[in-house]
Amino acid sequence: MKNYIGNLNGLHIKYIIINLVFVAASYLTHLIIGDIGLENKINMYISVIMMILILTFFISGRKKYQSQLNKIKTLALGEKLNIYHNINKKRLVSFTIMTIIASVGFVLSSNPLYLGFSILSILLIFLNRCSKVKISFELNLRKEEIEMIDKPVK
């Protein structure tokens, strides 16, 4: 059986794979279709809209994550861990939405900067994987609670 941290890291790996699939699909679509040939003015508008959307999802996702973490710090350990799992899932979904938007932007504009945003999103998922130290800091756990996290989930 995996422990709680192993389960959360498995969730992160799942979303890394999902995001890699979106990036690969957008790259293959670009190779097959090629440059769509949008007018420069339209391409510029699309780029601005896509950048605003990506930044909006990043900033709003970060703010929601922090506000939800602050709400659960006073709950019992079991509730904290269940809600923390759901919060992390929502955060990973917001990173995936950023990747999808960037992938669509790449297909529409052929701008490799969007692939960079997709890679950045995948990197953020990887860098936000869970550890005992991170969970204990984010949830203000006591030493006894940290030891309970190490036990396998049945």
Segment-wise mean pLDDT, segments of 10 residues, the chain, 154 residues: 78 95 94 78 80 85 89 87 91 91 87 88 90 86 80 60
Whether the Cβ atoms of residue 50 and residue 102 lie closer than 8 Å to each other: yes
pTM over the 0.75 mark: yes
Tokens 């190490």: give the residue. 150
Q: Which amino acid is at 10?
A: G
Long-range contacts of 45-52 (CB under 8 A, 24+ apart): 46/105, 46/108, 46/109, 47/105, 47/109, 47/111, 50/101, 50/102, 50/104, 50/105, 50/108, 50/109, 50/114
In the chain, where the domains are located: 4-149
d(CA 116, CA 122): 10
pLDDT value of residue 1:
38
pLDDT value of residue 154:
56
Question: Phi/psi class of residue 135: alpha, beta or left (left: φ > 0; alpha: ψ in -120 to 50)?
Answer: alpha
Q: 3-state DSSP call for residue 3?
A: strand
CA distances from 48 to 41, 100, 110 (A): 11, 16, 14
122 CB-near residues (< 8 Å, 6+ apart): 16, 19, 20, 23, 95, 99
Structure tokens at 4: 């709680």
